Structure 1
Amino acid sequence: MSDSAPRPHADEEWENLLRQWREQSAPQPRPYFYSRVRARLISKTTAYQPRRTWVRWPAYAVMLGIVLLLSGDGATLPSADRDAPPETPLTSR
């Protein structure tokens, strides 16, 4: 448990502190702040518009090829003959 004694004027101190905060004026940004932010945003959005980035990075094209090769559709692998006899399992001697 806390051993601190209640302060007699704690509510008044809080009210004074809150009153001081309310009386402070709101901080104003530096001149031309918003125009600089807007100019920076416009320059970043219009300067670089990536199109077909996978062409610039050959790793994407290689990974796409690997995924298509291993996708399991069997387009690149020869199919087994349906009339072929099943393989016989190896038996231990």
Structure 2
Amino acid sequence: MWISYFQWKAAHGGEWETPVLQRLDTIQNRDALLNEDGTEAQWPDAQYIVGNPPFLGKKKQGPKLGRPYVDALRDTYMGRVAKSSDLVCY
């Protein structure tokens, strides 16, 4: 992300702050889909979202994530994401 940011700034005549790398207090490492209580995770507005979504087919979700989690996920997103969807679709 930083490299892209600097390339864009350079291409458009912008300058960047010093120091170049700054502390980022807004990075979160958590479940992107469900809160601990099983409700849908809410996210603040963001300029960028960086991730590596897991590709996990319907049949592999239960063994890998646990049946209770998969059931909660499908119940929470019912009507918006088909139950047969790969995990990346959520």
Please confirm whether the aligned pair reaches a TM-score higher than 0.5, indicating the same fold: no
Question: Relative contact order (alpha carbons < 8 A, sep ≥ 6): 1 or 2 greater?
Answer: 2
Report the structure number with the largest CA radius of gyration.
1
Larger helix fraction of residues? 1
Compute the TM-score of the two structures, normalised by the length of structure 2.
Answer: 0.19
Compute the TM-score of the two structures, normalised by the length of structure 1.
Answer: 0.19
